[in-house]
Each structure stands twice: as structure tokens, then as C-alpha cells.
Amino acid sequence: MKTKQKRKSGQTRELHLKEWDFSSCPDDQLHWCSVYEHSRDNDKVVDAVKHFRASGAWRAEDRVLFPDERYRRMAERVFELFPEFPLTPYLLISPIERRRRCVELSELRSELVVYVIKSEVAV
């Protein structure tokens, strides 16, 4: 089943069921599925990732998307682990690969949260 999506540019494109119906997404992947799909729908993020992949660095104007070093580190890892981004919908990526990648991202996210807590306590 497909549906149509109207973009800010006024263009309409068909959406695959896996791009909007996340009922088949495992609960432990919903956060990453949401991050991935919302990022695919954000032209600024797509452009920033394209530039980052080509140059290995974020442009100054991209820093508003990822406001501090922890966000940038997380974004870098998300888009390194998902080379299919932005062309492939999250749910069309192999379930085994998605699970492996999500485990790694969740571990990094926990480390970064711990880092934030430690740095706030140290102050």
C-alpha cells in the first residue's frame, strides 16, 4: 500500500507503507526508527549528512541541527551505521542489521547520557 505525501516544495511523492506505518517495528527500535525517518523527511538534515559524508566535517550552518558535541557524535554514528540513509526506509533495512545497529546506538546513547550526568555532578 502506498500513500502520497506533499513536501514543503509543493511536490508530491508516493510513500511506501514502511515509510509511515511503524506498527511492525520492534519496540526497542522505535526511537531509532523515528530518528531515521524524521531525518529522511528533513531536507536540511539530508543535506547536512550528504556534506558530512563527503567531507568528514559538519558545516557551521549544520551545527544548529546538532547543537553540541554529544549530539554531533551521536548523529555521526547514526549516519555511519546507516549508509542506506536517506534512500532506504528504515523498515526495509534487514531486521538483523537494524537490531545490531540499534544496540550499538543505544549503548553510545547511554554513554553520552552518563557523560552528561557526570559532567553536571562535577560542576
pLDDT digits (tens, 9 = 90+) for 58-76: 999 998 998 888 989 999 9
Q: How far apart are CA 45 and CA 43, in angstroms?
A: 5
Q: What count of other Cβ atoms lies within 10 Å of the Cβ of residue 48? A: 22
Domain of residue 77: give its range: 26-122
Lowest average pLDDT, out of 67-76, 95-104, 114-123, goes to: 114-123
Distance CA 8, CA 71 (A): 26
Task: Give the residue-averaged pLDDT of 75-96.
Answer: 96
Confidence category of residue 121, pLDDT binned at 50, 70, 90: low
Task: Tell whether 21 is covered by a domain.
Answer: no
Instruction: Please indicate, yes or no, if residue 18 is contained in any of the structural domains.
Output: no
Query: Does residue 20 fall inside a structural domain?
Result: no
115 part of a folded domain: yes
Helix (H) and strand (E) counts in the chain: 4, 2
Count of domains forming the chain: 1
pTM of the model: 0.79
**3-state SS class at 2:** strand
What gap in Å lies between CA 37 and CA 52, rounded to an integer?
18
> Residue 5 above 50 pLDDT?
no
